[in-house]
Amino acid sequence: MNNAVAGFSKLSKKEKINWIAKEFFSNPEEAQNIIRNYWNSDEKLQQLHDEFIENTITNLYIPLGVAPNFLINGKYKTIPMAIEESSVVAAASKSAKYWATRGGFKATVIDTEKIGQVHFTFNGDAQKLEDLFHQIKPKFFSDTQSITKNMQQRGGGILDIQLKDKRNLLENYFQLHATFETRDSMGANFINSCLEQFAETLKEEAQNAGLEVQVIMSILSNYVPNCVVRAEVSCPIEDLTDKHITNPQDFADRFLQAVQIAEAEPFRAVTHNKGIMNGVDAVVLATGNDFRAVEAAVHAYASKNGQYSSLSHAKVENGIFTFWLEIPLALGTVGGLTSLHPLVKLCLEILQQPSAKELMEIVAVAGLAQNFAALRSLTTTGIQEGHMKMHLNNIINQFEASEEERHLIKTHFKKTAVSHSAVVEFIESLRK
């Protein structure tokens, strides 16, 4: 079998599917049917999806759910979440309900600064380069006026440009380090367009001054340590009580210790932060934002002090329990998929058309809610009981249980611990 193919991108969609079906499957017709079953019956809608990326053959569906009852800064929100992992939406919803009766979530955007860089080398007198930079700095702004005009009208634009000497990292390495405000757009295209013009201006002005610079690349940075939002919950310790928390002081102590372990121990911190990102990514994806960029930025931020650590923190002061996180989130509510994808537009409508700042607050709250739910389970009943009950549906579907079998299985496991082997064994006993 030869899996190499020439000119694949030039083939029609039908030809691509035929090649894949014949090349990789013993039953090509069955493979083609599976691929076609996931097409949208609306041809225009399917074409829209086909054109989001290259070499499209079909759609991979991820469930879109909602978590209601989030009281954020005094207003109720129903949060859309796109995720395939069971128990995430349920956990977020439970946290929302829990904190709605204890003052709700407070969220604050600390800053919205985004970053882009022109990376270049210069082998010469650094003082001459610095003098040139200060001389031509106004020209960076004037040469990008046509690019920044509309953004400036919306209250955004270029905030500052700095020359950074990075020769301690690499030989002859310098940067133009620029900061931006992009308002409600994520701003990637805007930032990159500005940076490319900065590079042209730098090369031209350096040549005029008899200095030789070599531009390596011009690109935004997804690390945005000054585009940060804080989300928190707090209440008197005695208000923490519920059916699972009979001793609120003991719960608060155990909760704080669990957070402290994640602050100190990287192996735990990674799993701890992954739980936060279950909530964050689900909302980022549902609102058409770039969850890969968010993930990269968040995990870099978790390492900003030299060791990977917890993104969330907890304390008890004067009898008040407080749990919070601060994370970098570069998000947008205009442009890109937000104006193209029908379900993304629907999700933003559910969120009552938030600004980028408001979306930052909502996403951070979803992450904190998810983290609280996980730590609450871990320090009380344990996380597996609830998780495996949610996972039961996946196992039932895997074995294509009939309606009668489904009823018997769910009835049996209401009082029996769920494990994959236990469910399989019960299904086999039914079918005997």
Cα–Cα separations (whole angstroms), residue 130 to 127, 164, 169, 392: 5, 9, 18, 64
10 Å CB burial of residue 289 (0-12, 13-18, 19+) is buried
| Residues 429, 431, 432: CA angle, nearest 5 degrees | 65
> Sign (positive/negative) of CA torsion 301, 306, 312, 316?
negative
Token pair in block for residue 312: 């969330």
Residue 401: predicted pLDDT? 85
Residue 432: predicted pLDDT? 82
Catalytic residue among 290, 341, 361, 391: 290
Token pair in block for residue 183: 């308002």
Cα–Cα separations (whole angstroms), residue 429 to 177, 409, 422, 425: 66, 11, 11, 6
Domain 114-221 has CATH 3.30.450.40: no
Fold equal for 65-110+228-382 and 114-221:
no
Domains of the chain, by residue range, sit at 12-50, 65-110+228-382, 114-221, 386-431
| pLDDT tens-digit profile, the chain (432 residues) | 567 899 999 999 999 999 999 999 999 999 999 999 999 999 999 999 999 999 999 999 999 999 999 999 999 999 999 999 989 999 999 999 999 999 999 999 999 999 999 999 999 999 999 999 999 999 999 999 999 999 999 999 999 999 999 999 999 999 999 999 999 999 999 999 999 999 999 999 999 999 999 999 999 999 999 999 999 999 999 999 998 899 999 999 999 999 999 999 999 999 999 999 999 999 999 999 999 999 999 999 999 999 999 999 999 999 999 999 999 999 999 988 888 999 999 999 999 999 999 999 999 999 999 999 999 999 997 655 555 666 787 788 888 888 888 888 888 887 787 888 888 888 888 888
Residue 252's contacts (CB-CB under 8 Å, 6 or more residues apart) are: 237, 240, 316, 321
290 is a catalytic site residue: yes
Catalytic residue among 85, 253, 265, 326: 85
What per-residue string of b and e applies to 190-206 under the rule 16 or more CB within 10 Å gives b? bbebbbbbbbebbbebb
Evaluate whether 35 touches 57 at the Cβ level (below 8 Å): yes
Residue 420's contacts (CB-CB under 8 Å, 6 or more residues apart) are: 395
**pTM listed for this prediction:** 0.89
- Residues 337, 431: Cα–Cα separation, whole Å: 47
Residue 390: predicted pLDDT? 64
Residue 336: predicted pLDDT? 85
- Residues 406, 397: Cα–Cα separation, whole Å: 9
Residue 144: predicted pLDDT? 98
Residue 388: predicted pLDDT? 64
Which residues, listed in sequence order, are joined to residue 334 by a DSSP beta bridge? 185
Residue 385: predicted pLDDT? 59
Token pair in block for residue 406: 């489904």
Residue 2: predicted pLDDT? 67
One-character DSSP codes across 293-332: HHHHHHHHHHTTTSS---SEEEEEETTEEEEEEEEE----
Evaluate whether 309 touches 262 at the Cβ level (below 8 Å): yes
Identify residue 422 by its one-letter amino acid code: A
CATH class belonging to 65-110+228-382: alpha beta
Rounded to the nearest 5°, which phi and psi values hold at 333? -125, 5
85 is a catalytic site residue: yes
Cα–Cα separations (whole angstroms), residue 330 to 115, 188, 244, 301, 424: 10, 10, 37, 13, 44
Residue 395: predicted pLDDT? 85
Catalytic residue among 94, 106, 387, 391: 387
Catalytic residue among 13, 49, 128, 274: 274
Residue 382: predicted pLDDT? 67
